[in-house]
């Protein structure tokens, strides 16, 4: 299992709309590709939330081939869309993890 993790800090004024956009727009598109097995949003605890909350989105892939296809075919458009829509109200970075056990 490979997990693509996107950590995002969102301003308070946009946080509810950002979550709704992820759940209603991004997640259905990702799941429809058949590459991603599941999508989850987590609210990070014990973070400075003066300007806004920090979330992680985790995308789960069962096969390396699915993850590679996601990185080449899907992720660039997702990043572009998120940057355009949420410019000035969020900042994000991505990491990848492989399940060990």
Q: What is the pTM of this model?
A: 0.94
Report phi then psi at 47, rounded to 5: -110, 155
Report phi then psi at 37, rounded to 5: -85, -35
1 in Cβ contact with 97 (< 8 Å): no
CA–CA separation, 79 and 64 (whole Å): 20
CA–CA separation, 101 and 97 (whole Å): 12
Per-residue pLDDT of the chain (101 residues; tens, 9 = 90+): 999 999 999 999 999 999 999 999 999 999 999 999 999 999 999 999 999 999 999 999 999 999 999 999 999 999 999 999 999 999 999 999 999 98
How far the first Cα of the chain sits from its last, in Å, is 10
For each of the domains in the chain, give its residue range(s) and CATH number, in order of start.
2-98 (3.30.70.100)
């Amino acid at each position: 299992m490979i997990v693509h993790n996107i950590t995002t800090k969102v301003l308070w004024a946009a946080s509810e709309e950002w979550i709704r956009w992820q759940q209603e727009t991004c997640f259905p598109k990702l799941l429809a590709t058949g590459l991603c097995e599941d999508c989850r949003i987590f609210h990070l605890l014990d973070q400075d939330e003066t300007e806004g909350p920090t979330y992680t989105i985790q995308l789960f892939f069962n096969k390396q081939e699915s993850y590679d296809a996601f990185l080449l075919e899907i992720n660039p458009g997702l990043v572009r869309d998120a940057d355009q829509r949420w410019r000035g109200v969020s900042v994000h970075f991505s990491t990848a993890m492989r399940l060990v056990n």
